[in-house]
Amino acid sequence: MEWLGIVDKRNQNKGDMMVFSVTGSVFKRLNLLRTCSCRLQSHKIENDKKRGFTNYWTMPISTFCCSYNIRFCRTNIQAKSRQGYENLNHRWKRSDLSVRGFAGVPNKYSIYGEKDIDEEKYTPEDSDGESQETPDDTSLSFTKESLEKSIPVGENVVESLETSFGMTREEAFRVIRSRKFFLVADAAILDTISCLADFGITAERIQRCPWLLLQTADDITERLNMVANKFLFDNYHEGLGFCYFGKYKIQYFQKIFEREAKDFPNHRNRIYCMAENLMVPVDHLTDEIVKVQRVLSMNFYRIETYIIMLNKYEIRREDILNDLWIFFNNMDLAEKRLQRIIKVGCKRPKLWMCRCPEDIFVKTERRYQLEKDALGDCSSVEEYLMKRLGCTKEDLVNQLEYNNSFQNVSAAKIQRIIDLLLSEGFTTKHILHSLRIIKYSEARTGERIRRLKNLGLGLFPLSILYKSPINFELFYDNFKRKKMKQS
């Protein structure tokens, strides 16, 4: 692994080592980065006192790029020797990288070449072109939330995604959220975006395969010309996912498909046959199957048998497509688990239930059994509420317009909450007009009822029980003071 280091401005003349050297407030902020997500590795140097350094961290190049997505990075790169400096310089030039700031901040801090910006004289310019003083490290404040909002590309890349593919800003941010974008220059990403737009690639494909933006434009052009070939794909739109592979890997799979062509007389290759069995578009399957490439060479009879079994239990095709690893699990065990979970009332089983540990599956099975027992003869939670609260469908619908929180609450929990409230003296009418109460925990609701009754408060509006913790404590303290004054 190649290690890279940044020497702090105050210590840049005390040794040209490839290490971190930080002091004071900068150390605190780097420590914040380490505790958040950057995984900096602590590194102790024996003669640190002689060199004048106080704290040391070393990190790989990728971690450095992720860590320094912040404005206070004002550093120069130094290496152990002239040869080391040239190698380092060449490596960074090859990727054409630069230290990036927050969204909208230009890449003004060059990190390669001998003509780095003089930090003593340089002051960044704002959007109006007026020079403003660079703040000291001590005046900068970074929180965990602000670090999470940083993006690994410049504003021009985001704008290019919006204009070339018609994405919204939120969709563009989701596409470039991977930290791998720190390792690719904005200019290279822009060339790739232009190349993909020229080939007519849609925004949906980019959102499904954001790794396409990490490829060079030349590589994408070469690979797209390769995939539209014999035994591979009819056109490059269906084979776009194969750009995930290198050219030698594409040639390797082409030879595999050629050898097994006799097994698929009515299809171009196994991908087309599998897409027909799953009833999904070929391009969508290609985009997903490259992430589980062992499916491209495993026994196809097993795949067909597995798909038939999953269709028998009405597993959604989208779930299969998003979890192709299921084909590597024991089919008999998966079928037995599907039978068990459907028996206890699960209407739409998930594939993770087929391969999770036994204790997790048993807990899930028990939860569905409790749900089934709570519903009884009722087919849905709405029907159960109508029966339990003694209301009509119109009354329930009117209340659900304002209180629809129960939709993700299990029937077993609803049963416990209603039993608790009825035992404390509340009526079904009170519960019907405050359905929001059922989404809160039984322990919290019961504790608040006991505290209020201990103060001598009889029946009270249920809205008090689902106040926020601060508002409830304010209400409780105010009522307690009034009670003390009266006594």
- 10-residue mean pLDDT series, the chain (487 residues): 36 37 39 36 39 41 39 32 38 33 31 33 35 34 43 85 90 87 88 92 91 92 90 91 92 93 92 93 93 91 94 91 92 94 90 93 92 84 85 81 70 88 88 84 90 84 88 90 82
Nearest to 77 by CA among 119, 140, 107: 119
Of the candidates 145, 177, 150, the residue with the CA atom closest to the CA atom of residue 161: 177
State the Cα–Cα distance between residues 260 and 272, nearest whole angstrom: 13
Backbone torsions φ then ψ of 445, nearest 5 degrees: -65, -45
Instruction: Output DSSP code: residue 242.
Output: G
Burial of 118 (0-12, 13-18, 19+ CB in 10 A): exposed
pLDDT at residue number 53: 39
So what's the pLDDT on residue 479?
87
CA distance 202 to 222: 19
Instruction: Tell me the CA distances in angstroms from 130 to 72, 109, 136, one per residue in order.
Output: 20, 18, 19
Give the model's pLDDT for residue 150: 62
Neighbours of 54 (CB within 10 A): 14
pLDDT for 276 equals: 93
Integer angstrom CA distances of residue 68 from 43, 48, 363: 18, 24, 44
Closest Cα partner for 335 from 310, 314, 311, 360? 310
Q: What is the Cα 145 distance to its own chain's centre? A: 15
Q: Are 211 and 122 in contact (CB under 8 A)?
A: no
Q: How many secondary structure helices (H) and strands (E) does the chain include?
A: 24, 3
pLDDT at 429: 87
Q: Would you state the pLDDT for residue 336?
A: 94
Partners of 60 in the β-ladder: 3
Among 414, 412, 390, 416, which Cα is nearest to 403's?
Answer: 414
One-letter amino acid at 236 equals Y
